């Protein structure tokens, strides 16, 4: 590991393609993460537990899904699996085995960094009693009690509405695509009409009482509005 900074977190890149691994390590290190890399599943399982494992599922020794299962059994590290397009079944298996998120190759560094921030925020929120409340402007989302408040007033939300809010508040400012929201708040195998999301979104916005709190980014998805830009 390059001793850059332990403040942001430690990321282990598990990737057997040396070109991709080098690029990832460089980008993550520049972004301030302490970053290590290994090329096999066996080496990943031997590595001192990092905060985040970026796990390519196509590894030369152990099946990536199996690596994911074993990591989850013995560590609390957040696991982001990386698959090629068309490997959807592996991705679903890995999520079932405890992966926290996934990326499809090719992906950009900005997206990777956003996903890492989000999984770290979630794992820190769950691991630390004082940090289980996501806060963004007037909005608070308590992950432990599932209570939501806006400007200090409680808002009663349904489980789906809560899941939507958790999805948005776990990485405020990032645009969450409709598909990602459906997969996270409903089911990773969701293939139904996306209209269902609009119905829940409309109900949620009404309950929150501030129509500008959740922004629609046309053609992309949704995000929480920057609190400094809302009155």
Which residues bind to Ca ion, rule: CB under 5 A? 16, 56, 58
Between 66 and 210, name the residue whose CB sits nearer to Ca ion.
66
Between 30 and 105, name the residue whose CB sits nearer to Ca ion.
105
Between 49 and 84, name the residue whose CB sits nearer to Ca ion.
84
* CA atoms of 102 and 115, how far apart (whole Å): 9
Q: How far is the CB of 60 from Ca ion (least distance, A)?
A: 8
Q: How far is the CB of 82 from Ca ion (least distance, A)?
A: 8
Q: How far is the CB of 59 from Ca ion (least distance, A)?
A: 6
Tell me the residue nearest to Ca ion as measured from the CB.
58
Please, which residues have CB within 8 angstroms of residue 21's CB and are 6 or more apart in sequence? 13, 15, 37, 39
Please, which residues have CB within 8 angstroms of residue 106's CB and are 6 or more apart in sequence? none
Contact 9, 52 (CB under 8 A): yes
Between 105 and 220, name the residue whose CB sits nearer to Ca ion.
105
* CA atoms of 42 and 142, how far apart (whole Å): 38
Q: Which two tokens stand for residue 184?
A: 């996270």
Q: How far is the CB of 218 from Ca ion (least distance, A)?
A: 36
Q: How far is the CB of 63 from Ca ion (least distance, A)?
A: 12
**Which residues is 10 bridged to in the sheet?**
34
* CA atoms of 132 and 145, how far apart (whole Å): 9
Sign of CA dihedral 7, 8, 12, 17: negative
Q: What DSSP state is assigned to residue 55? A: E
Between 81 and 120, name the residue whose CB sits nearer to Ca ion.
81
Q: How far is the CB of 20 from Ca ion (least distance, A)?
A: 8
Between 56 and 166, name the residue whose CB sits nearer to Ca ion.
56
Largest CA distance in the chain: 55
Residue 3 CB: number of other CB atoms within 10 A?
A: 6
């Amino acid at each position: 590991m390059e001793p850059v900074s332990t403040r942001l977190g430690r990321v282990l890149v598990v990737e057997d393609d040396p070109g991709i691994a080098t690029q990832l390590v460089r980008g993550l290190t520049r972004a301030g993460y302490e970053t290590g890399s290994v090329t096999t599943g066996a080496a990943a399982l031997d590595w001192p537990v990092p905060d985040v494992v970026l796990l390519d599922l196509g590894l030369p020794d152990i099946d990536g899904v199996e690596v994911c299962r074993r990591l989850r059994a013995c560590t609390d590290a957040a696991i982001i699996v990386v698959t090629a397009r068309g490997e959807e079944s592996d991705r679903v298996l890995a999520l079932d085995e405890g992966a926290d998120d996934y990326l499809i190759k090719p992906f950009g560094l900005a997206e990777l960094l956003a996903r890492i921030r989000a999984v770290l925020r979630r794992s820190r929120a769950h691991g630390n009693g004082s940090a289980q409340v996501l806060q963004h402007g007037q909005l608070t989302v308590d992950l432990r009690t599932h209570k939501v408040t806006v400007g200090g007033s409680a808002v009663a939300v349904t489980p789906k509405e809560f899941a939507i809010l958790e999805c948005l508040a776990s990485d405020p400012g990032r645009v969450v695509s409709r598909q990602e929201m459906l997969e996270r708040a409903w089911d990773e195998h969701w293939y139904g009409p996306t209209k269902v999301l609009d119905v829940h979104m409309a109900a949620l916005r009404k309950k929150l009482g501030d129509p500008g709190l959740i922004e629609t980014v046309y053609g992309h998805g949704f995000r929480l509005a920057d609190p400094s830009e809302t009155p």
